[in-house]
Structure 1
Amino acid sequence: MKKKQIIIFLILLGISHNLTSQNKNITINIKRNSDNSVDFYYEKKLPGSFYISIEFTSLSNTYNKKYHTVVKNNSGRLFKLKPINKEQPINFSYKYSYIQGTPNPKVDKLFAYTLPFKKEKGITILESTNLNEVYFGSEKPSNWKSYVIDRTYADTVCSMRKGLVVKIVNEFNTDTLTQYSYKSKMNSILIEHSDGTFASYKGFKKNSFLVKLGQTVYPQSQLGILDAFNDSTYRLYFHIYYLINNDLNLKGKVSLKEQKSNNGFLTPYFYTTNGSEQLKHKNDYIIDFNEATFFQEFTKREKKKYLKNPENFN
């Protein structure tokens, strides 16, 4: 799996009252107060959880050295620097970095997921290889687990669990002229779950998404339509992972072979006609679920709304 991008910024601050460092996803705002204290705020453009780490490279007239937290809201206050000598300003320089997710979350490894197509459909499960290991010689994560489902038509992909849509890639057009063994450029969707795991779905036709960024989805919510992978194959890649490495220090560029994943991978339990089970390579399954599995993360209000108008949750 391609290593997630970690972004790092260096800010040199003098005594200006409102200085801002901007990047694509997260903005840090600085406010100097009349009592010489300094407040740090953030603004986040993408939905979902992000781990932020702030490290001061120089600091005078205050005590704090490092700060880190997980932010989920669109904006908020991070912390305050208080001066030792209240008559003098605080001077500092700092750098900050961030990565999507909550480091080492309390993952529910026994959670029963629904499979990513509609109930009663038959599927064959294939376990996917790690492309960085196969093609670039990098080290495969010790708990790597990813799946492939091939269809013979442009089937509709469904959500496997209640969650928040935190990323949609909708850039790539269908290429029917080339026969592929794998594709690195695929339209995809990423959904964050309440226990800190993420579900990655790859293989959508461009402009076929049926959900929006920031939307809450539920088991069996329709996400989008599969794209043609080869002449007669429509392929979905999917896996569930979580952030395990919160060391955001960048030590220069490394080759693909030297890259290591920041993520841990889950071997999930899925509900089929056999009950809740872990999937096996090349085995056939019939998609199924019971009421307890389907509603396990619904609030009472959501369940009531679903029972009244289930079409609003598709």
Structure 2
Amino acid sequence: MKYYWILLIVISSYAQEQKFKLHVDHSDKIIKLYVDNYQYCPVTLNLSYKLQNLRLLKPNDTSYFIPARAKKILLTKLERIDNNLPANLNFDDRYFYGFKNNNRANLHYSYHLPFALGASNLVVQGPNGVLGHKDQHAVDFRMEYDSEVVAMRAGIVVQVIDTLSTVIKENSCTVKSNMLLVYHDDGTFAQYSHFKKNGIVVEVGDRVQEEQLLGYAGNVNFGSEPHMHFEVFKGLVSKKESIPISFLIDYGFKIKELENWKYYTKYY
């Protein structure tokens, strides 16, 4: 019996950017789909399949957790329905940093203020702020242009954008700014946003320590003055599941959440 086999895979923009690589192994009937994750953090990959003469062995198997820097992780298995007919494998993909249901997140961690020793900065918008923090536990500090931004917590840098001189807008909303994303050992992520152009001094893959210099504040934002945005995500970054941040202020005194329009100083 002669078998007809046509395999079509759509290579996503993520794969083209070398964020992951897909592999396909197949025998006469069983097809196995594998992935390599080049990222320095775990990711969630969602695939929307478009199949011709193929079926998933597990029909609802479309969302996958992939560990950091993992190689040849089995995603799913498919089988041909009729060996005498051509078969096509096609899919759309969505790719996210992190994972759902992060039960390892340390919700009581004491974060360092993200600026230099001796500096004092004003919180211009706190958690659930009306200007852009609705349902977010984010903090915006007014900071002088070119002032130092330091790591609130140790982790691995997983994303860096610092080539913008203005914010990219879509439907009047901010979709991209100069920012970096740091992955922590408990599965959480810290986002630092609004660096000046070419103002980030660390690279993807760097392990940064608490208080390490990350870059310099800018004014790539909608505001009339330089400020920096800080937010910590529990799991999937795409879901914007930010969590309250407890900070150490003054000489190391812990405070649960910072208040709007109040200055905070760092002496530790």
Q: TM-score range by the shorter chain?
A: 0.7 to 0.9
Aligned residue in 2 for 1:241: 233
Separation in 2 of the partners of 1:275 and 1:90? 67
How many residues align structurally? Answer: 247
1:112 aligns with 2:93: no
The one of 54, 57, 80 aligned to 1:63: 57
- State whether structure 2 residue 12 is matched by structure 1 residue 23: yes
CA contact (8 A) 1:150 1:235 kept: yes
Deviation at 1:224, TM superposition (A): 0.8
- Aligned partner of 2:45: which letter? I
Q: Secondary structure at the match of 2:260?
A: coil
SS in 2 for 1:25: helix
Deviations 1:133-174 (A, max 9, x none): 758xxx943xx1211112234211111111121111122227
1:148 corresponds in structure 2 to 140
Residue identity opposite 1:103 in structure 2 = K
Distance in 2 (alpha carbons) for counterparts of 1:197 and 1:226: 23
Hey, what's the Cα distance between the residues in 1 that align with 2:24 and 2:215? 41
For 1:161, give the aligned amino acid: R
1:38 to 1:90, Cα distance in 2 relative to 1, 3 A = farther
The separation in 1 between residues aligned to 2:174 and 2:54, in whole angstroms, is 51
The question of whether the paired residues in 2 share the 8 Å contact of 1:42 and 1:75 is answered with yes
Whether 2:254 is the aligned partner of 1:276: answer yes
Q: 1:32 aligns with which of 26, 33, 58?
A: 26
Contact 2:180–2:192, Cα closer than 8 Å, also in 1: yes
- Once residues 280 and 81 of structure 1 are traced to their aligned partners in structure 2, the CA distance between those partners, rounded to angstroms, is 51
The answer as to whether partners of 2:165 and 2:220 remain within 8 angstroms in 1 is no
Contact 1:56 1:92 in 2 (8 A): no
**What is the CA deviation profile of residues 156-201 of structure 1, one whole-angstrom value per residue up to 9, with x for unaligned ones?**
11111111211111222279xxxxxx97763111112222222111
Show structure 2 runs of 5+ residues with no match.
Answer: 16-20, 168-172
Are positions 1:210 and 2:205 aligned together?
no
What are the residue-to-residue correspondences of 1:223-262 with 2, within 5 Å? 223-228=214-219, 233-243=225-235, 262=239
Q: Which runs of 5+ in 1 are unaligned?
A: 1-13, 176-181, 246-260, 290-314
Q: Deviations over 1:39-94 (max 9, x none)?
A: 21224454422101345554647632232322122542324537599x88995645
2:77 maps to a residue whose letter is L
Match of 2:164 in 1: 172
Rate the CA distance shift 1:54–1:88 in 2: closer, same or farther, 3 A: farther
Q: What TM-score comes out, normalization by structure 2 length? A: 0.75
Alpha-carbon distance in 1 for matches of 2:80, 2:174:
56
Q: Find the residue that maps to 2:190 and give its secondary structure.
A: strand
The DSSP-based 3-state class of the residue aligned with 1:102 is: coil
Q: Deviations over 1:245-293 (max 9, x none)?
A: 9xxxxxxxxxxxxxxx72211111111225221222223322255xxxx
Distance 2:184 2:86 in 1: 40
Q: 2:149 — aligned with what?
A: 157
Return the offset for 1:109.
0.8
CA spacing shift, 1:244–1:25, aligned 2, 3 Å: closer
Secondary structure of residue in 1 paired with 2:241: strand
SS where residue 266 of structure 1 aligns? coil
CA 1:43–1:90 in structure 2 vs 1: closer, same or farther (change >3 Å)?
farther
Contact 2:6 2:87 in 1 (8 A): no
> What are the within-5 Å matches in structure 2 for residues 178-197 of structure 1?
186-197=177-188
Paired residue for 2:18? none
Q: Which amino acid aligns with 1:270?
A: F
> Identity over the aligned pairs, expressed in percent?
19
Shift of 1:232: 9.4
Q: 1:73 aligns with which of 69, 74, 93?
A: 69
Structure 1 CA distance, aligned partners of 2:174 and 2:32? 46
- Distance of aligned partners of 1:37 and 1:172 in 2 relative to their CA distance in 1, 3 Å threshold: same
